[in-house]
Amino acid sequence: MWGICLVLILACATGEYSEVQVVQEMDNFLENPHYLKNHEIGELFTQLAKDYPDLAQTYTIGKSLEDRPIYALALSAPTGESKNGDLLRPMVKLVANIRGDETVGRQMVLYMAEYLATHYDGDTEVQDLLNRTEIHFLPTCNPDGFAKAQEGNCESLPNYVGRGNAANIDLNRDFPDRLEQSHVHQLRAQSRQPETAALVNWIISKPFVLSANFHGGAVVTSYPYDNSLAHNECCEESLTPDDRVFKQLAHTYSDNHPIMSRGNNCNDSFAGGITNGANWYELSGGMQDFNYAFSNCFELTIELSCCKYPVASTLPQEWQRNKRSLLQLLRQAHIGIKGLVKDASDFPIADANIYVTGLEEKPVRTSKRGEYWRLLTPGIYSVHAAAFGYQASAPQKVEVTNDNQEAVRLDFKLTPVETNFDGNFRKVKVERSEPPEKRKEQFDGFLTPTKFEHHNFTAMESYLREISASYPSLTRLYSIGKSVQGRDLWVLEIFATPGTHVPGVPEFKYVANMHGNEVVGKELLLLLTKYMLERYGNDDRITKLINGTRMHFLYSMNPDGYEISVEGDRTGGVGRANAHGIDLNRNFPDQYGTDRYNKVTEPEVAALMNWTLSLPFVLSANLHGGSLVANYPYDDNENDFNEPHMRQRNSSINGRKANPTEDNALFRHLAGIYARAHPTMHLGQPCELFRNEFFADGITNGAQWYSVTGGMQDWNYVRARCLELTIEMGCDKYPMAAELPRYWQDHREALLQFIEQVHHGIHGFVHSTIGTPIAGAVVRLDGANHSSYSQTFGDYWKLALPGRHNLTVLGDNYAPLRVEVEVPDSEPFAMRMDVTLMPDDPQHWASANDFRIIENVVNTRYHTNPEIRARLAELENQNGQIASFGYADNEFSTYFNYLKMTSDIGEPEEHKYKLLVVSSLYDTAAPLGREIVLNLVRHLVEGFKLQDASVVDLLKHSVIYFLPQTNKFPDVFAMYNVNSSICDPVLGDELAERILNPETDLAKDMFLQFLRSEHFDLMLTFGAGSSELSYPRGDSVLEKFAHGMQRTEFNYSPLQCPASATRQAHRETTERLTNLMYRMYDLPVFTLGISCCRMPHHKQIASVWRKNIDKIKNFLALVRTGVSGLVQNDKGQPLRESFVRLLEHQRIINVTKNAARFQLMLPHGLYGLEVTAPNYESQVIRANIEEGKITDLGTIRLHPFTLIRGEVVELASKANGGSTTSIAGMVLDESNHPVRNAKVSVVGQTQLRNFTNSLGQYHISAVPLGTVVLKVEAPRHVEATRQMHLIQGGLATENVVFHLKINEHVFGLPRLLFILFASILIIVGVVVCVLCAQFWFYRRHRGNKPYYNFSLLTQKGKEQFDLEDDEAGDDGETELFRSPIKRGMTIQPYFDEEQLERILHTDDEDDDGPHMEPELDVADDSGDEIVMLHNPGNKRRH
Ligand SMILES: [Zn+2]
């Protein structure tokens, strides 16, 4: 048969060249049309290769699942030139039958192969094509599917038999997808079909330029992309950057196809017979997108026939329709530009990128021979080439016409980056046969010459682009966000298969240059990147590291700061902060509180947090400069936010208390690894500038060194579960470039060893008994609370020191599991521990956590309003001693039912806290919240019955109101009953919104009235959409409450709820409502997100309860920690008007009206409490509050002011002869109003004091000569001190005026009154003297009667005093000392005598302010122990 064929072809060669005639006459392969079986394809290809040895080569790309070979044939004419003659000959492929039952293309590909092979001799068109083009034919991708498909079936068989491969997988959805989520990608890579894997290899390994992929079931040409980020089902175009090229290619096919071009076949409608893939229908994992996104090849998907598997007799007609289209399409491989990229010595450069302006998103890459092809439509383009290790070429202008179907030739010659190098650079790199060891010696560890220099942002960016382009299979360059000034925060991922998290492979990160002027880390990471990539494959250690560790390097977290930093800056601060002037290492959320440095999150920090939380990082280091030490968490102490006197920072490392984490031993070990691998760090020698800093072993606990609030390393540990160290790389922050080689030598080994630590410890997988991976399981070690979570695939890591450890694994709805594990103390220092969790029994959980209340966790459902009422009434009936149900017995309870619980209902509640628990402020979340409230009530009732200590304690200390909201329940419940998977029912007018709305609404008004009258201490309510807790921001005590509540959130991994518009709206509403409640009603509201859905399926209620019970218990436990005391005077009489204030806090707590008792909920920690009563000296008491304990301060006795206002005590001034003097002057406030009753005293001489009169005047006698410090304290004002030198004896020093700042929340005197006083001063001065005399007289006659009797007179309310203050008589009956004497000191002299020297005492908050000699300020002359240390020297900051 082949002989005949050959004869015919020969005949043809001598015959006419009328093309149509030739086809019609000669194509004998069309005789007896039939579909070739797979083995027949193999035979045909073998035959062709045998018959046309110069043209054809046959090969297989792999085998199918059922072991059928996948045959391919390559056709290309030999060239005259012997060597490299086929250089720049583009490669095209025709592929078909990826779906086994779409068969027309299969035969078309075979026909075309035969046609071209048989017509080469004699047909100039074919000759031209094969002389210039290499064409590969792959008639079937899916031989197994084809074997099952049935001829004549126009639609797929039932269950798509034959469409997929032998495993019935649709191969055209099995390719890696450019938009794929990491875990999907990974799962699929593991289960990729052999056919797809073979195709992927084939496509990647050959430099194909153009491709067509034939399908059936429609008649249209489709072009990429096939999917979009939006993942719409259809009808939305998703265009490539090369859309113009693709449209031209598609039209080339369609326009030459007699029926496709009409666009109206098979009941479809496609304009011009072409369509964008995504516009037609969404498809992910398709071959066409894979070609474009992962290789240089442009592929079309061509649908050939309405019928998928038509009978063979139609094949000749199909050939006639497609032949011209095919031939024309093959020619399109020659549009655009092509060329060679070489180096100076004419060595081809592989993997160089060719960039076309405007199409930079899709660079093409050169082949191993340095060739490239870039398909382009006609136009003028600017093109340049770039390759790693070379300077990018200059852009070249090129005009593309595509005339004569010939690509424009455009070659590039690149020069190595090392211009002083002798030109052999590329040889060194290309010829890998040279032993790498030799090169390592040559280039100091690197395999190519390396420049040690600083990189600004642009240089760094191009360095990273080039290196990632040079190692595309080992790297992925991505940006995690932008800086304030819009610079990308570039991260390079280095891993054997970059792009996705691989189950069982740990994630590691280095972050450098967070402080813009600390640059060593950044440059060393750039060097480390080059070092590792070059040595991959040449160095077992590096190869192992890259194969088994997913590493992410963020080279510059603060590129804006870097840009203004200066080389040679050793210890400066220019460029340290970001472009907003914020120190990024103070800007993270802190476990202990919020201050002005971290109140607003900077974009760089936000980007870093999102990134860190998006990957399961195990280990990290944060590279700084300015010292040489490895620093480990924590960086601050819990008192850094609330105790002003502790906040002074000390640069001496011994001065502070270490604050270790639960993983302290491990952290010390990790820090030690780094320090010991560095030649000098472990010696712990101080830097020149900080001579007193010695770090034992070169490591330190952050808090012990100096406090950093809002630091990144603590955030990583606390929030992201990632162990992070802060490495100080050296004493100089920005050394000269010439010093970089030394830094590299010193740190290279340490940097590598630290990465290797990510493998040391315990890792494995968490599965259920049926083998399902369990994500989000909590993994803990040795009883510590700090936990890790298992990842999507159930994989987890827990770094650990060698030795025996107890591993605890907790999965939601699984029984806890505890195993003992031994980590070996030699290589590999690691232990793999896979665990299987058993489903738990709710009864076990209930007996362990919920007093065995089965009702709370079994058969949970939503209760209706009558049911809720019935339950609450029943609870009251059965537990009348502790519960009381408010229902329709007053106006409020007609709208809201509530249950009140406390021990001994009816006993006085004065000493108890009042708590309010509301189901939800959202009517749509209330049904769930009500169930939680009901569960909680049952929990407390049962706990009380069992006399559980914590419940008894709780009810003893507090009155709790439970308020299950009922208003709109019927509406919401109706929505749920229609659709129980509704998740988030939507209601227009939620209670929260009505509260914020000024319009009157009876229910809302009743609720607010309730809040106003009851004065609750705290309120808890429930929300949905996340597991976050919202609370009023800005108060450190409330913040600590919140942290306390969330402390056990690590029993469960945080909820990952999809965002939605209503969820966002509710979050904002909650925030506004929280602020409103706090401001208007002084009520801190805590809203706890308990579930993603506002109304989950009723069976889920049990799980919601189980996940949140700990946080709710924590809330209730807040009442168990705090402080209490009684305030009395010297005589033991209660001071009922006294009040208590936390230092540096706004809130004032009044004592009770009977016993003058105060009680404050306070989180544990150190506090200063100021106790104040009118006419009494305030006291500041230092209280150390312990967890779970109400610290009783006992009776606090306040002393009355012993001197009467306006009185002047003359001390024995004559005794010391001329060695004393007197001081007189005035005390005014900032508005020049006189300050009455200000205490003026000489520091250190308690008897030397006096008070100002109503005109603000004072006078002190018998003051010794020399240097004295005068102090003024006044109610509601900031105290002031002043140092004076009194030189001349006997001569009175007068007009010493103090100007006091008014303390914040105090009313000032109206200006008019001051003028009145001033008038009195001027006009009636004499009268005043007379009055004084009378006063004196009166005073003498009073004898020794104590004056505190005044305070026992009936006193007016505070507000009244505020208003009537000025009207009060000078005798001061109604003086009110409600404002504390603030301990911060500032004075502003009004005017001074020349003889006075003054020293300003400022306690400026600015860290960088000048500081004087250390001195001990005794803050209170009454002997309180508060001591402030002013420290000298530099403030150290990392
Ligand atoms: Zn730093």
CA of 466 to the centre of ligand 1 (A): 28
CA of 577 to the centre of ligand 1 (A): 10
Q: Would you state the pLDDT for residue 1438?
A: 56
Residue pLDDT, tens place only, 105-139: 999 999 999 999 999 988 889 999 999 999 999 99
- Terminus-to-terminus CA distance in the chain, angstroms? 85
Nearest residue to 1205 via CA among 1227, 1220, 1222: 1227
CA of 515 to the centre of ligand 1 (A): 5
CA of 614 to the centre of ligand 1 (A): 25
Under 8 Å CB-to-CB from 390, ≥6 apart: which residues? Answer: 343, 349, 352, 414, 415, 416, 417
The answer to whether the CB of 819 falls within 8 A of the CB of 807 is yes
CA of 650 to the centre of ligand 1 (A): 17
Nearest residue to 1198 via CA among 1174, 1218, 1226, 1220: 1174
CA of 1437 to the centre of ligand 1 (A): 7
Q: Which two tokens stand for residue 1104?
A: 């919601």
Give 3-state DSSP helix, strand, coil % of the chain, rounded to 5: 35, 25, 45
CA of 576 to the centre of ligand 1 (A): 8
Distance (Å, whole) CA 770 – CA 1116: 39
Distance of CA 1283 to the CA centre of its chain: 51
Q: Would you state the pLDDT for residue 1370?
A: 40
Give CA separation, 101 vs 40, 105, 878, in Å. Answer: 18, 11, 73
Q: Which two tokens stand for residue 58?
A: 């046959």
Please count the residues of the chain.
Answer: 1438
CA of 587 to the centre of ligand 1 (A): 13
CA of 624 to the centre of ligand 1 (A): 4
CA of 514 to the centre of ligand 1 (A): 7
Distance (Å, whole) CA 1270 – CA 1240: 7
Helix, strand or coil for residue 1050?
Answer: helix
Please state whether beta strands 883-886 and 396-400 pair in parallel, antiparallel, or not at all (unpaired): unpaired
CA of 570 to the centre of ligand 1 (A): 12
CA of 518 to the centre of ligand 1 (A): 6
CA of 463 to the centre of ligand 1 (A): 24
The answer to whether the CB of 1146 falls within 8 A of the CB of 1072 is no
Distance (Å, whole) CA 570 – CA 583: 18
Computed over its alpha carbons, how large is the radius of gyration of the chain? 42
CA of 602 to the centre of ligand 1 (A): 16
Q: Which two tokens stand for residue 1019?
A: 């309120």
CA of 1436 to the centre of ligand 1 (A): 10
CA of 625 to the centre of ligand 1 (A): 6
E-strand spans in 742-832? 761-768, 778-781, 787-789, 795-799, 803-810, 817-823, 830-832
DSSP 66-96: T--EEEEEEE----SSSSSTTTT--EEEEEE
| CA dihedral over 425, 427, 432, 433, signed as positive or negative | negative
Distance (Å, whole) CA 234 – CA 293: 20
Residues (pLDDT < 70) of the chain are 1-26, 80-85, 181-189, 417-439, 641-656, 887-890, 1047-1053, 1144, 1146, 1201-1218, 1231-1232, 1288-1291, 1303-1320, 1322, 1324-1326, 1328-1438
Kind plus residue range of the DSSP H or E element containing 1044? helix 1036-1046
Under 8 Å CB-to-CB from 99, ≥6 apart: which residues? Answer: 142, 145, 163, 164, 170, 171, 172, 215, 216, 308
Cα dihedral value 425, 426, 427, 433, nearest 10: 110
Distance (Å, whole) CA 554 – CA 576: 17
The answer to whether the CB of 1122 falls within 8 A of the CB of 1132 is no
CA of 584 to the centre of ligand 1 (A): 9
CA of 627 to the centre of ligand 1 (A): 9
Q: Which two tokens stand for residue 621?
A: 């280091």
CA of 719 to the centre of ligand 1 (A): 21
CA of 568 to the centre of ligand 1 (A): 16
Q: At what angle do helices 287-294 and 194-205 cross, to 10 degrees?
A: 30
Residue type present at position 1272: V
Distance of CA 1042 to the CA centre of its chain: 20
Catalytic residues: 303, 728
Q: Would you state the pLDDT for residue 1358?
A: 40
Helix, strand or coil for residue 1348?
Answer: coil
CA of 553 to the centre of ligand 1 (A): 17
The answer to whether the predicted template modeling score (pTM) of the entire model surpasses 0.75 is: no
Question: 862 preceded by cis ω (within 30°)?
Answer: no
DSSP 970-990: HHHHHHHHH-TT-BS---SS-
Other C-beta atoms closer than 10 Å to the C-beta of 755 total 21
To 5 degrees, how large is the angle CA 276–CA 278–CA 281? 110
Q: Would you state the pLDDT for residue 500?
A: 85
Distance (Å, whole) CA 74 – CA 89: 13
Under 8 Å CB-to-CB from 362, ≥6 apart: which residues? Answer: 240, 241, 242, 292
CA of 519 to the centre of ligand 1 (A): 9
At which residue do the structure tokens 């010297």 appear? 1130
Exposure string for 1302-1312, b = 16+ CB within 10 A, e = fewer: bbeeeeebeee
The answer to whether the CB of 88 falls within 8 A of the CB of 371 is yes
Distance (Å, whole) CA 250 – CA 221: 6
Residue pLDDT, tens place only, 1085-1142: 999 999 999 999 998 899 899 889 989 999 999 988 999 999 998 888 888 888 888 8
Q: Which two tokens stand for residue 452?
A: 């040690």
CA of 446 to the centre of ligand 1 (A): 29
Q: In what order do the strands lie in the sheet with 1122-1129?
A: 1157-1161, 1122-1129, 1190-1198
Give CA separation, 919 vs 916, 928, 1361, in Å. Answer: 10, 8, 41
CA of 245 to the centre of ligand 1 (A): 50
The answer to whether the CB of 127 falls within 8 A of the CB of 77 is yes
* Beta bridge mates, 507: 550, 617
Please state whether beta strands 1427-1429 and 1416-1418 pair in parallel, antiparallel, or not at all (unpaired): antiparallel
E-strand spans in 236-283? 274-276
CA of 761 to the centre of ligand 1 (A): 29
At which residue do the structure tokens 């290790």 appear? 389
